[in-house]
Structure 1
Amino acid sequence: MIRVDAYGPVLKLQVARPVFGRPYYHTAAYWIDGLLVDTGCAHTAAEFVQAVAGLPVAQIVNTHSHEDHIGANGPLQQARGCRVLAHRDALPILANPRLQYLQPYRRYFWGWPEPSHGEPVGAWVETDHYRFQVIPTPGHVAHHVALYEPDQGWLFSGDAYIGGRDVAARPDYDVWAIIASLRTLAALPAQKLFPGSGTVRDNPGEELARKAAQMEAFGAEVRRLRAAGLSVGQIKRRLLGREGRLTYITAGHFSGANLIRLYLD
């Protein structure tokens, strides 16, 4: 499933694999002036290529190498000859996506991407009419980057920002780096946020700062409870309650217990 929405000259391409006719676990890519920011997942790659068939695509920038952001890289590169740019440390996974282990739920919802040839992204990415600053935003993964167009105030944040209250996490996140990256993005005079979730926001600085503060306060409480002698399980139950559906769908790869442990690292 793919849905296309326009925000001025920016097109949002929101993708998800339907399960029994209902789409689950959306992710979003964006097209602007011949540039694609991410390309969705492998299960929607053919539909994605068709969706941009009438648009110029000169280059792709991947915010990071997770399978739900690089899924149409290979087919697009083969069909259109476009360049693929990403953080240097993401390039081996673009070239051989199976270097990145996918748990069964990830294979089911997003699938194994085809290989693509990537090049290191520089400090800036230019299109015919726009110029994007490349901002390192580690935490979700160490090689994550965001794009910021200062003249337009557009911020393409990938998964550096995930809205709402966190109740579960993967064990490989770096929550303290996520907080630092959120503060970096909050300091920008951005007028519109285009995140990997697809929930586009106006004037996002306050929300980015609020999310960073919320995470920091949660981490402080986790550490306070740990210092008081509570176990990870006791802290999780006090602050988060029982594990939710996501923990069972992912066989524990996402869990509240993981989230608590991350703040104790």
Structure 2
Amino acid sequence: MIASTPYGEVLQIRMSRYPDFPSGMWVCAYLVDGLLVDTGMAHTAEELAKFLKDKHLKVAVNTHFHEDHISGNKFLQDDYGIEIYAPALSVDKINKPAKLYPYQEEVWGYPVPSVVKTLGDHVNTQNYRFEVIPTPGHERDQICLWEKTNGWLFTSDLYISTEPVACRSTDDMWQILADLENIRALNPQVLFPAPTHVVYEPAAKLDELISYLEELGTRIEELYKKGKSVERIKEEIFSSEDMFAQMTQQQFSSLNMVKSFLKNHLGS
């Protein structure tokens, strides 16, 4: 299903396979001045194409190669003949999508391969200029789009909440922290995240998240230096894993977060 909400000149398009899915399993695309930021999941790809019929779509950008950000590509190309751009590291992966875990297939679905062009350092629309900001912590190819005049920042999967307790095994938490500090320095006025609600005047929330991750990473390293195992550190800080870890076959877990903060100590 699809639901949309306008935020001034920006239209948020929220997508989910089922209406009763928890919020963490929805994903958002954004339409502004003919530019579509991300194209959503396979389970809503045809519905998205129909929804955009009268929306003056001109071009799209994939912020990274994950299946919940690219799966509308082929349908939009076929229906509207638009160009789609993606970071250089994403291009081949979008044309040859990776094998998914069962939960990914259930929640978001397999994308149809699509041919996209390499994204440059900015995107121009009729009325706006969007700067490409690399944010490689969540995925090496991930980018944000920054519209300086209005203070709009399209953050993809960089910002989720102020106190995350789980991550994927491929997430680099120290790099995510650096990415957050980088975008905080831009002083954005509005965040448009892929997984969650729009955030106005986000300075306080970004500061809270940055402080939380700094303190969490430092505490994890201190416990490790005292000789505690990653499993013991996870139990001491987070207690048991939540239901999301079980639902994702441990792909999103607190243990992964501990390991990520300790990557320089664990040699991975």
TM over 0.5: yes
Q: Structure 1: which 5+ residue stretches go unaligned?
A: none
- For these two proteins, the number of residue pairs brought into alignment is 261
| Counterpart contact for 2:160–2:196, Cα < 8 Å | no
Deviation at 1:205, TM superposition (A): 2.6
| Letter aligned with residue 3 of structure 2 | R
> Which structure has more strand as a fraction of its residues?
1
The residue number in structure 1 matching 2:212 is 214
Contact persistence 2:37–2:62 (CA under 8 A): yes
- Structure 1 residue 101 and structure 2 residue 99: aligned? yes
1:110 pairs with one of 98, 108, 111: 108
The answer on 1:15 being equivalent to 2:5 is: no
- SS of the equivalent of 1:53 reads helix
- After superposition, the CA RMSD in angstroms is 1.1
Q: 1:182-233 CA distances to partner (integer Å, 9 max, x unpaired)?
A: 0111011211110112310111133223212211110100010011111111
**Which residue does 1:89 correspond to in 2?**
89
Q: Tell me how far apart the structure 2 counterparts of residues 105 and 164 of structure 1 sit (CA, whole Å).
A: 25
The answer on 1:198 being equivalent to 2:232 is: no
Moved over 6 A (4+): none
Q: What TM-score comes out, normalization by structure 2 length?
A: 0.95
Aligned twin of 1:146 = 144
- 1:159 and 1:7 map into 2 onto residues whose CA distance is 19
CA shift for structure 1 position 59: 0.9
Which residue pairs with 1:62 in the alignment? 62
Percent identity among equivalent residues?
A: 38
Q: 1:131 aligns with which of 101, 123, 129?
A: 129
CA distance in 2, matches of 1:159, 1:254: 14
Aligned partner of 1:43: which letter?
A: H
Maintained 8 Å contact 1:12/1:198: no
Q: CA deviation at 1:101?
A: 2.6
In structure 2, distance between residues paired with 1:208 and 1:38: 23
Deviations 1:52-110 (A, max 9, x none): 1111111111111111111101100111111111110000111121xx23110001100
The answer for unaligned runs of 5 or more in structure 2 is 264-268
> Which residue identity is paired with 1:240?
F
TM-score (norm 1): 0.96
